[in-house]
Chain A
Amino acid sequence: MSDSKNDIVLEMTDIHKSFEKLEVLNGINLQVRKGEVVAIIGPSGGGKSTLLRCATTLERVDYGKIVIGGDVLCDTISGRLSYCDKKTEKEIRSKFGLVFQNFNLFPHFSVKRNITEALIHVHKKSKAEAETICNNLLMKMGLIEKADEYPCNLSGGQQQRVSIARALATNPEIIFFDEPTSALDPELTKGVLTVIKDLAKEKMTMVIVTHEMSFARDVADRIVFMDGGVIVEEGPAYDLVTNPQQQRTKEFLAGY
């Protein structure tokens, strides 16, 4: 892995974000290189999800700079924050995928349409092309026989795998996972984690907010521990889990 600037897929610099008076992100710096898997861990309310939501355009930051796949989403120059225009934002949205904690599949669409709809109507692919992409992904997820089912007829684990397929369909440069297994029981969790593990082997760039500590240790290249709106500690996954340096990190990991 080289350190060249071109290899950086996500760059968040000095990100600040508050809701009302509550400071949720208090100067976050995060860089993710191509092919890197970064796990974000930390207690609830520590700002992990908000950070992800800011990176995925679902929340606006108050201060800082975000660059995704070379495009500047927002920048703060001499104290003034400005966001890119709508066209660039749309461009940026095609560069990442987001997997939600509670899937957010479209219940009135079949599995197949959940995956192909954006390909056809946003990315202007032909129906045949979209279906080829869809079938390949469903095959990979072990869900090819579910293509014509509706989400309500799938288990939570299957739904989450469909939503991963949906996020992968547009061939994004980076995928964000917001606690992808928190809504699943341990047995279903396994299937979803296996899929993410496979993606890591294929060198998919991923940022994963998770509470699955052993998964983070085994799959991530790097772990970021967040609390109180700041990054308390970060480092190579195995080192951080087995030998945390900060007192706060030690306390948190002791709970697992």
Chain B
Amino acid sequence: MSKIKIVSLIFRFYISILRGTPLMLQLFLVYFGPYYLFKVNTGSIAIGPFNYRFIATIIAFSLNYAAYFAEIFRGGIQSMSKGQYEAATVLGFSKIQTYFKIILPQVVKRVLPSVSNEIITLVKDTSLAQVISVTEMFTRASAAASAQVSVVPFIAAGAFYYLTNLLIEAILNRVEKSMSYYS
């Protein structure tokens, strides 16, 4: 945490709000906020093929997950022993060198399991985007299910989520393994 009190306070407030309110609410706020608050015509905003619905989803998810990741990394950094900093200090490493060479590589290894969890949750959370009418997979499945009066589309959607996460899991396992050369 920052030694500058005001900076630390701002981030603590940010994390507290983002973790303490529903992601769905945050999605609504990012999507409708610009229009209700500033009368911005978000319908005309687009970056390449992405309309504002999609952009708002990216923004809301980034803000929300940044808060969770920040907490995970804070925990990881604080779990490092004082001795590591002290050894680096007396060897003459600068603060920046100490952070990037000594602390961060060890922190990454420590937080990886928690980060994996968050990434997998993130994939499943994308189904929330339907609340601002982003046609993501779950929206499609719902539509197909009611049109066909069948649960098969839901099962298919579930399979897609699962396969995506299976792939992510496989990648993360490899990363974890690549860092298991020390304990």
Give me the interface of A with B, judged by CB distance under 8 Å: 56-58, 90, 93-94, 96-98, 100, 102, 104-108, 117-118, 121-123, 150-152, 166, 170
Contacts A107-B182, A108-B105, A152-B182 given; does A100 touch B83 at CB 8 Å: yes
Mostly helix, strand, loop or mixed at chain A's interface?
loop
Point out the residue from B86, B97, B183 that lies within 8 Å of A121, measured CB to CB: B97
Q: What's the tally of chain B residues with a CB closer than 8 Å to chain A?
A: 20
Tell me, yes or no, whether B132 is within 8 Å of chain A by CB.
no
- A118, closest chain B residue (CB): B91
Residues of B within 8 A of A94 (CB): 92
Q: Are B90 and A93 in contact (CB under 8 A)?
A: yes
Residues of B within 8 A of A96 (CB): 90
Residues of A within 8 A of B32 (CB): none
- B181, closest chain A residue (CB): A150
Of A106, A117, A121, most buried by chain B (CB within 10 Å of CB) is A106
Tell me, yes or no, whether B109 is within 8 Å of chain A by CB.
yes
Q: Are B109 and A108 in contact (CB under 8 A)?
A: yes
- B87, closest chain A residue (CB): A104
Contacts A102-B83, A104-B87, A108-B105 given; does A123 touch B182 at CB 8 Å: no
User: Can you list the 10 inter-chain pairs with the closest CB atoms, starting with the nearest?
Assistant: A104-B83, A104-B87, A122-B92, A118-B91, A150-B182, A98-B90, A93-B92, A152-B183, A107-B182, A108-B105
Contacts A58-B89, A122-B92 given; does A108 touch B182 at CB 8 Å: yes
The complex places the Cα of A48 from the Cα of B170 at a distance, in Å, of 51
Contacts A106-B102, A152-B182, A152-B183 given; does A57 touch B90 at CB 8 Å: yes
Residues of B within 8 A of A93 (CB): 89-92
User: Shortest beta-carbon distance, B48 to chain A, in Å?
Assistant: 40
- Quick one: CB contact mask for B169-183 with A, threshold 8 Å, 1 for yes? 000000000000111
- B88, closest chain A residue (CB): A106
Q: A108-B105, A121-B97 are known contacts; what are 11 more A-B pairs with Cβ within 8 Å?
A: A57-B89, A58-B90, A90-B92, A100-B86, A104-B87, A106-B87, A107-B182, A121-B101, A152-B182, A152-B183, A170-B91
- Quick one: CB contact mask for B88-115 with A, threshold 8 Å, 1 for yes? 1111110001000110011001000000
| B103-134, CB < 8 A from A | 105-106, 109
The complex places the Cα of A150 from the Cα of B92 at a distance, in Å, of 22
Residues of B within 8 A of A56 (CB): 90
